[in-house]
Structure formats: C-alpha cells, structure tokens
Amino acid sequence: MWEKVLKGLTYSIGLYALLPTALARFCHLGVIWRGTRAGGRVAITFDDGPDPRYTPVVLDILKQHNVRACFFVLGEKARAYPELVLRMKREGHEVASHGFRHHIPWLLGPRGIIREVREASRVIEEITGSPPRLYRPPWGLFNLFSLLHSLLFGQQVVLWSFLSWDWSRRCTPESIARKVLSRVHDGSILVFHDSDDTPGAARGASAKMLRALPVILSELEKRGFKVTTLAELNPPRESWWQRLGQRLDHLITRLLKFQHLHYRDGHPTLLSVRLRRYRGRALMLNDGTCIRPGDAIGEIHFHNGVLKELVAARDGPAQAGFAALRVLKELKRSLGELARWAATHQEGVKAVMGITVLHRGAERLGFTLCELPSWLKIPARLYQGWLLAAYHPQGLPRVRLHHRKIVPRMVAMGTRELIRRYLTSEGVNGLKEKIKEG
C-alpha cells in the first residue's frame, strides 16, 4: 500500500512541478528566452529587487552608460521601497513582476500562485500606474498553473538565454563578466540580481555583480551590441484569446447589423450604430425626450478597433490622461457623424443610446445616464469585461485588477439634442429644418 502511495505521490509531483519546469526551461514552451527581433540587440534584466543597497547603484551605472533594462521586482520589496520603483519607471526602465514574495512555485498550490501574482501586480500598478505585462517565476521554476500563466493572467513569462551565476558564493567580478561575454549573442536575454537576501543567494554576491556590470556594458558596446528593453527585443503581441475575442466581436457586430460610421475622408469614426425598436420601459431624458416602447432608436456601439488604437500608447498615469483626451476628442468628432446619420435617416430616429463602462463625463456631452434593468446588469458586465480583456493593451490583468470598477450604464440622448450640439457640418441648416418638419 505504501509503495502505491509513494508512487502516486511521485507521479503527482512530476506532473505538477517537474514536467512543467522541464517544458518551460528546456523546451521553452510558453516562455520568452531570447529576442524575436534582435538586429544586434541584447536585453539586461535584474531579479529580486528593489534593494536600497544595490538597486540605486545599478540605476546609476545604467544611466552612465545610457542603457535601459527590465527589473523583475518582488511585490513585497516594491511596497517597501516605492521610490526605487518610481525611479526605474522615470528613467525609462521596464518594471515587471517576480511575484509578491520569493516563494518556490513547486510548493504553491493554485490559490497560492494566484495570490502571489495578483498581489504583486496590484502593488506595481499602485506605484507605476500600470500593471506589469511581464512575469518571471522565482528561480525559473514552474508548476502546472504557472506554466499556464499567460492564459490565466495575461502576462508573458520571461526567462533568460543563459545564467551569469552572479548569486553564487564562489562568483567573482571576473567570473561573472567572463561567463556573460563568452556566451552573449544577438538576441540574448541576460539576467543579474540586484539583491542578495533571497534564499539561495550568497551575501555580498550583488556587490560583485556591480563591479562586473560596467565592464560588461562597455564590452557589449565595443562589440556593437545595443542593450535594450524587452519590449524592443520582443515587441508585445496579442495573445491568441485576444485575437479570438476581437474576431468574435467583429462577427457579433456584423450579425447584429451594426454600421460603422465614417468621416467624409473615408476614415472610420469611433462609433458604430444600428437602427432598432426600443423595447424597454419608458425613459424621460434630461433633454426632454421621452422614449417609449416601439420608438425607433439608434443603438450605438464603440468601434473597438479605433478605440484600441487611441489607447495603445497608454503607459502610466500621465499617458492615461493623454489617451483619455484623445478618446474624448475623437468621440466629439464621431458624434457629429452620428448626428448626421440620425438626421438623414428616413425612419425618424427618436434617440440614440448604448451600454458602456466608459460613461464618466457622458452627461457633459449631453447624454443621460440610466441604470440597467436588474436582469441585464450581470450579462452586460461580463460582456464589457470581455471586450476590455480582448482590446485593452493590458488585457486580462486590467480586468482582474479593476473588475469592481466595471459597472456598465446606459447612455441616451434625444436626436434633436444630438443635432443641436454636434451637427455643425456643411448643410446643417437644411438638415435641421428637415428634422423640424418631421
């Protein structure tokens, strides 16, 4: 009996821990370990920080050599030293996740992995304004769930091309530099450690790395290598489920017969619309329009491809503000084309309305905000969350960290108010007269 139990335990450990690690480390399944767009580029990464003794010196050296790197930080340390994380971001470095604590993935169950990843991502976003898109498991060890990390959490897993052994007790500045410079090649991802207080690291090893780093950077420059970020070495790619989600969205809008509105130059606006009959309860809008069951309305829907392009450059609070301004400016332009569509439509559109989570400031644009019927709240929230995961550059991490903020509302505006506010193109007088006559 004990033999069967021992055998079963061995198989379970192999399936849960050893096999996923072998697939990732040796077969490179689901991980980045070298550059896909090299062209003489290499990437330098640092693990286990931030550390108040070593990380500032690392940043100083990188600044002297005009080099940007990627720091895989521990959430626990990032919370303790947020000023170092902010400095990384401010000086153009990437901030990625190394988990919350330096726990061995083999000893963590599904809930433990989820807790480690989510807490680290939450801390990093609180400091930098954006969740990390990259993750490196402690010691490069995997279990069954961390191997599925990209699918479960929407973060790309990054390992390395080879080890510098800069954490070992026997390492020297010369041995670190020799190991790196003898094996570096186009597209290499190098790994160093800017902390020596995690299990397995020799005390003082990071100080030796600091003496080797300037030598390595100088030699890389002499050899013609450009040290760059992982984003440049491996440009972010949409996951397969994001591509699938976008295709499904396109299919749904086609099946529901949404019409993409275009400007006169042929470029698409931010809005799509379809004509349908209103079937809800009677609504009295702030502009005086009363919508009753059976009235013709224009159901509006964001053109998510255009919206995706507008927010693609989002990276941190400042860029988020610029993205919001771009979306607002484009929305105002698009409302002009929506007004033209409503004014020229033969069926006499009473109002335009839609469901969205992007309703902040909608009332200043002339919309009335309405609560959704209770039966529609959960489906609408799931649908809006799915769209956000499919189109937002940060995908699933964005949804998971902000799922409580996904609160869809109905926005509506009477056609007359829409035309009064936004139909300012040529021929506006004739169109307004047509509406009055109707």
> What is the chain's pLDDT, residue by residue, as a tens digit (438 residues)?
556 545 555 555 556 778 888 888 888 888 889 887 667 899 999 999 999 999 999 999 999 999 999 999 999 999 999 999 999 999 999 999 999 998 888 888 888 888 898 899 999 999 998 889 899 999 888 887 777 776 667 788 999 999 999 999 999 999 999 999 999 999 999 999 999 988 888 999 999 999 999 999 999 999 999 999 898 888 766 666 677 788 888 888 889 999 999 998 888 999 999 999 999 899 999 999 999 999 999 999 998 888 887 776 544 444 555 677 888 889 999 999 999 999 887 668 999 999 998 888 899 999 999 999 888 888 888 888 878 777 776 666 666 666 677 889 999 999 999 999 998 654 444 444 444 444
Task: For residues 202 and 271, state if they share a domain.
Answer: no
From 189, 213, 233, give the residue that closes a domain.
Answer: 233
Task: For residues 171 and 119, state if they share a domain.
Answer: yes
Listed residue (329, 328, 303, 287) closest to 415, CA to CA:
287
Task: For residues 30 and 152, state if they share a domain.
Answer: yes
Catalytic residue among 98, 102, 149, 193: 193
Task: For residues 80 and 194, state if they share a domain.
Answer: yes
Query: Which CATH number characterizes residue 215's domain?
Result: 3.20.20.370
Catalytic site residue 47? yes
pTM, full prediction: 0.63
From 205, 233, 261, give the residue that closes a domain.
Answer: 233
From 164, 198, 233, give the residue that closes a domain.
Answer: 233
Task: For residues 161 and 294, state if they share a domain.
Answer: no
Task: For residues 141 and 226, state if they share a domain.
Answer: yes
Catalytic site residue 265? no
What amino acid occupies position 114? I
Task: For residues 287 and 168, state if they share a domain.
Answer: no
User: Can you say how many angstroms the Cα of residue 88 is from the centroid of all Cα atoms in its chain?
Assistant: 19
Task: For residues 303 and 393, state if they share a domain.
Answer: yes
Judge contact between 228 and 68, C-beta under 8 A: yes
Task: For residues 361 and 281, state if they share a domain.
Answer: yes
Task: For residues 200 and 261, state if they share a domain.
Answer: no
Domain span holding position 124? 2-233
Task: For residues 248 and 196, state if they share a domain.
Answer: no
Listed residue (244, 238, 180) closest to 212, CA to CA:
180
Task: For residues 182 and 301, state if they share a domain.
Answer: no
Domain count, the chain: 2
